[in-house]
Structure 1
Amino acid sequence: MKKRGKFLAAALAVLLTVSLAACQKKANTTPETPAESSIFTPGTYEGKANGFHGEIKLTVTVDATKIVDIKAVHTETQGLGDMAVEDLIAQAKEKSSLALDLMSGATYSSNGFMAALEDALKKAGADIEKLKVKGEDEQSAQKDIVLDTEVAIIGAGGAGLAAAVSAHQNGAKVVVVEKMPNVGGNTIISGSAYNAVDEKRQSAMGIEDSIEKHYTQTYEGGDKQGDPALIRVLVENAYPTIEWLESLGMKFKDTVFTVLGGLWPRAHKPVEPLGTGYINTYMNYINQHQDEIKILTETEAKTLIQNTEGRVVGFEAQGKNGKVTVNASKGVIIASGGFGANIAMRDKYNTLWPTLTNIKTTNHKGATGDGIVMAEAINADIIQMENIQLLPMGDPITGSLSGNIEQGVENRIFVNAAGNRFVDEGARRDVMTKALMAQTDAMMWVIVDQHSYPTGDTVNNFNESIDSLVEQGRAYKADTLEDLAKQIGVDPQNLVKAVEAFNASVDSKVDEFGRTLFKDKLDTAPFYAGKRVPTVHHTMGGIKITTETRVVDKNGVVIPGLFAAGEVTGGIHGTNRLGGNALADVNTFGRIAGATAAKGN
């Protein structure tokens, strides 16, 4: 795998659909007509474009044939967007072109950088279209390759990387293929909440919890459609998997919280932003064992290979330069994620929601259900595909979870376009989303106060400061509820009444919508509001597995040599996944899959 930057995974910026407006300004030279053999007019030029958190400004120095230096001024997210910019600077200097490998998916940070770089190089007299063509060294002849390993994994998101590390720890050599340019999948852009019963952290906060409570809430929260045996594995192994992650160097905060739709305060939050902590932890390990764990990006698995006895012994994939055949002597693990970004597939299976065609998604663009299709092609049982989860927390423009101003369930309310509450804000995700869809324009405002943001530089669960969100117009701030109501266009009297009623419920613990999760009143300025809409978030259906992650066929018989873990599987969560259970699922079952496959039986 080609490494770009310290950790390929952590360079991923948040997935968003982006519209960039580049501003052109020359720095300190006047382009002259380049010599016939030159590419640029030597000098230093400035380029600008919009990034994720505002303007990206590049100062680019060139000589006649190459990019000599690039200096960047920006406010991109630390640990994500800033690393994307650093990675692209290194590539641009190495290649002296615009044919760069962008971060996985179309992102504000990477596309903003490219627009700013193009702006600067135009002023340097470059032929922009020619610079976008890859050089001969990158247009190598098609060449098929064959790789022999013990455990082969399809997908390099959280489940796939967990499986890779676990398989290696259990003595296996590993090959991982990932169709996207970078590893990380949905895990790296997640809000990072991880549910686990944790006596140490919860007891310190006065929170009573138990494995049985987590089991019951998960089972009943999915309308009792989840497989009880799989749920039992999840809740019993969630915390041991946190301990495993910590043994690998990952750090979690000392407190837990209730994540949206999580129903109870047991969500753990990593120290690193978004899901980068999980991916960095796995990549740290993998980078230390590169001779025995190989990752191929931009390599899309297409077909599973079975021997004459029906055992899965590998798969065929399409790489950048030809066909890649991976032979696996011990097992193949499918960890390719769900199908939230596949509109046709969503519409094919959806029976629970109005049409999902025009609903955006929180998922990265590679979440298209490929692994499910491959497994079904060899008669694997595919179950509960209609169970598609929506959230009420999508960004109105992109559908992503970024920009969400809530910090936890207990300290915020939802109001509709009239300024009225309309649902229990601590309810199941499907309950809240259905209630939101019944509101005018299917939109709502999240309302919080200083309890959630003690200072302007306090960040949300996506590492965005509240001040930056207000500056970008993605959140609103006021010293009074009346002023906040005017800013967001709702009836001031209604908003004030809604907050007053909520505050009374904090004292009485009796709420008109049946809410039971409370902490602080909304009574301390400044007050904040953020707009949210429904968005497709998780697909609970997929490949049927056993408690050891072995894939079973339509007759209930295990398919030898084939395993699956993560969102590609079905039957764990039922009709509705509790918030915070996805990362517990991904990491726990990824770990189990790696260990099971390494046994080779």
Structure 2
Amino acid sequence: MKRVVQILLTLLLVFSAASCGKKLYTPGSYEGAAPGIHGKDVIVEVSVDEKEIKEIKILQNEETPGLSDAAFERIPKAIIDGQTLAVDTVAGATYSSKAIIAAVTEALAAAGADIAALSEGKAEADVVTAATENLEADVVVIGAGGAGLAAAVSAHQNGATVIILEKMPQVGGNTIISGAAYNAVDPERQEPLGIEDSIEKHFTQTYEGGDKLGEPVLIRTLVENALPTLHWMESMGMEFKDGIFTVLGGLWPRAHKPVKPLGTGYIETLMNYIEKNEDSILLLTDTRATNIYKDKDTGRVTAVKATGPDSTILAQGNKAVIIATGGFGNDVEMREKYNKIWPSLKNIKSTNHPGATGDGLALAEQVGADLIGLEHIQLLPMGDPDTGSLAGNIEQGVENRIFVNKEGKRFVDEGARRDVMTKALFEQEDDFMWIVLDSHNYPTMDTKNNFNETIGELVEQGRAYMADTLEELAEQIDVDPENLKAAVAGFNAAVEKGGPDKFGRTLFDEKIDTPPYFAGARMPTVHHTMGGIKINTEAQVIDTEGNVIPGLYAAGETTGGIHGSNRLGGNALPDIHVFGKIAGANAAAE
């Protein structure tokens, strides 16, 4: 028996040595590519020896700055550390994560790897009980989107030390992926363009545009502070273009467009300030707030409990806590619970980032905050049919484009409120429409839309269509050519007379008469939640008895009462920055 055991051990060692000597890769460096969120390739270079993946370089990517950074930092490291393709995607950067993994997979396939073996699931990690870490600052901010970062910067400028807790692996929230239009009455920019505007007009359109359900004092605070807050952002380096435009559902030309794409300029501006003052502003990502605590004797909000990657955090706010966690546009259960206006929203996609799940509402309820207007959920008629996002939208402004249905017919005033346009779209076949415009919007194929995509790229990717005649365009998008020509002719006639047309449209500029002509497909998508935490003009949170909750503030889409039943396009960016700035200043002054 002893002899048999010795033979078996010898054979085992031989087989083990043979296995260890197995060549897994052909040594060298290999490139791989896969389309990212905008349809443009993420290109990687993967270096291997016979046994291991040694290095992964990102050679090219045109993903959204800020939003995708965590994916490019974490995914390659996870693949190398685990020597596996079975790695988790990064929350909030799913498309970028999948593109990196797919590109690395292609490169490894070229290296002769066993892709099936590399893609097998990971073993379950050991459960480790996290220790509790106690932190302390004057102000604790929950959420690192536009409102939270604005609040943090404002609090610091007013003398406070700050802790920011962000559940996602990156900052930016919905702001960084937004269309970024910022409404403000701005005579310096508007008057040279012949645009007449006033604070009173902005107030009236906001109030009436929300069916007079918004709090007038909050609306007044918004419209009066929009321009000063824009100047505050500019003082920190934020840049806007000189022109003014009318954003979808904005009702008037008062929207400012940042120089940088999407909402990256807002987030970069605020983060530049925070990074320069990191000695007194602590930013923690991957850290989800789970509880807010009051002092049992004074009723003042004093601390926040959060779960971090390595520990449980107890963050003490010696002066105040600010909730700036965004809305719940990406929480299907909450949408279904509160929706009283729309057909079922269960299968409707959203423009929102994955973290927009209403966390702040539950936190605020823990300390008795009042929640208002939760049934007011905004949909846009502008979602990408595949993803629900605003990317790929070919419109540049309201005045120079029309909407047509699958028959090629117009069906609504394209300058109306967002809810009006979306309800009309739900009445069309398959809830589907085409945006139609011409070269007035895209004089060259390199002209970009509001999401940093060129029209040439969109056409090449099949996300937009281009033709030299309306008949050819109609054939490409499969609509009746006579209907499409009649729709354009009706629009052009209204442009000549200055409107209104048969739909009541009053916003016009150029005719659609200069080829090439373009079309892009759109469908309804969940965009904004107008309801939320009740606040006053000082951004203080109000409880269910109508009283201020000491030491608790809120700002941004997590709040309710400003926009009523419908938010005007272009009012979100001033909302989050105006009330974020107010919340930060007042929290620091506690």
* TM-score normalised according to structure 2 size: 0.91
Identify the range of structure 1 (481-490 vs 33-42) with the bigger mean alpha-carbon deviation: 33-42
CA distance in 2, matches of 1:446, 1:197: 28
CA distance in 2, matches of 1:322, 1:565: 27
Per-residue deviation, 1:355 = 1.1
Trace 1:9-408 onto structure 2 (pairs within 5 A).
Answer: 35-36=20-21, 42-52=27-37, 53-63=39-49, 67-72=53-58, 74=60, 76-77=62-63, 79=65, 87=73, 91=77, 95=81, 97=83, 104-121=91-108, 123=111, 125=113, 128-129=118-119, 142-308=130-296, 309-408=298-397
Counterpart position of 2:419? 430
Residue from 524, 528, 549 that aligns with 2:518 = 528
Counterpart position of 2:7? none
Q: Work out the number of aligned pairs and report it.
A: 566
Describe the SS at the equivalent of 1:493: helix
Please tell me whether residue 419 in structure 1 is matched to residue 408 in structure 2. Answer: yes
Per-residue deviation, 1:72 = 4.6
Residue from 447, 470, 473 that aligns with 2:462 = 473
**Counterpart code for 2:556:** G
Counterpart position of 2:438? 449
Identify the range of structure 1 (204-213 vs 40-49) with the bigger mean alpha-carbon deviation: 40-49
Per-residue deviation, 1:317 = 1.1
Per-residue deviation, 1:471 = 1.1
> CA separation of 1:441/1:113 partners in 2, compared to 1, >3 Å: closer, same or farther?
same
**Counterpart code for 2:510:** D
CA distance in 2, matches of 1:65, 1:597: 56
Counterpart position of 1:6? none
Counterpart position of 2:557? 567
Residue from 503, 509, 534 that aligns with 2:498 = 509
Per-residue deviation, 1:79 = 4.1
> CA separation of 1:242/1:415 partners in 2, compared to 1, >3 Å: closer, same or farther?
same
* TM-score normalised according to structure 1 size: 0.89
Q: Is the 8 A contact 1:298 1:319 kept in 2?
A: yes
**Which blocks of at least 5 consecutive residues in structure 1 are unaligned?**
1-32
**Counterpart code for 2:300:** R
Please tell me whether residue 588 in structure 1 is matched to residue 578 in structure 2. Answer: yes
**Counterpart code for 2:567:** R
Per-residue deviation, 1:78 = 6.9
CA distance in 2, matches of 1:80, 1:523: 39
**Identity within the alignment, %:** 60
Please tell me whether residue 551 in structure 1 is matched to residue 541 in structure 2. Answer: yes
> CA separation of 1:229/1:395 partners in 2, compared to 1, >3 Å: closer, same or farther?
same
Describe the SS at the equivalent of 2:208: helix
CA distance in 2, matches of 1:354, 1:134: 41
Per-residue deviation, 1:315 = 1.1
**Counterpart code for 2:284:** L
Describe the SS at the equivalent of 2:62: coil
Write out per-residue CA displacement over residues 573-592 of structure 1, whole angstroms, 9 at most, x where no aligned residue: 00000000001101111111
Counterpart position of 2:10? none
Please tell me whether residue 409 in structure 1 is matched to residue 398 in structure 2. Answer: yes
CA distance in 1, matches of 2:287, 2:26: 38
Per-residue deviation, 1:370 = 0.8
Per-residue deviation, 1:76 = 2.4
Larger Rg, first or second structure (1 or 2): 2
CA distance in 1, matches of 2:418, 2:588: 37
Write out per-residue CA displacement over residues 229-250 of structure 1, whole angstroms, 9 at most, x where no aligned residue: 0000000000111100011111
**Counterpart code for 1:51:** G
RMSD after superposition: 2.4
Q: Is the 8 A contact 1:219 1:574 kept in 2?
A: yes
CA distance in 1, matches of 2:387, 2:99: 16
CA distance in 1, matches of 2:433, 2:249: 16
Per-residue deviation, 1:120 = 2.5
Describe the SS at the equivalent of 1:144: strand
Q: Is the 8 A contact 2:72 2:100 kept in 1?
A: no
Write out per-residue CA displacement over residues 278-301 of structure 1, whole angstroms, 9 at most, x where no aligned residue: 000011011111111111111111
Counterpart position of 1:10? none
> CA separation of 1:247/1:382 partners in 2, compared to 1, >3 Å: closer, same or farther?
same
Per-residue deviation, 1:191 = 0.4
Please tell me whether residue 579 in structure 1 is matched to residue 564 in structure 2. Answer: no
Q: Is the 8 A contact 2:67 2:170 kept in 1?
A: no
Counterpart position of 1:23? none
Q: Is the 8 A contact 2:66 2:170 kept in 1?
A: no
Per-residue deviation, 1:89 = 8.0
Per-residue deviation, 1:132 = 6.0
Per-residue deviation, 1:49 = 2.5
Write out per-residue CA displacement over residues 153-180 of structure 1, whole angstroms, 9 at most, x where no aligned residue: 1110000000010000000000011111
Counterpart position of 2:11? none
Counterpart position of 1:598? 588
> CA separation of 1:287/1:67 partners in 2, compared to 1, >3 Å: closer, same or farther?
farther
CA distance in 2, matches of 1:594, 1:569: 15
> CA separation of 1:94/1:246 partners in 2, compared to 1, >3 Å: closer, same or farther?
farther
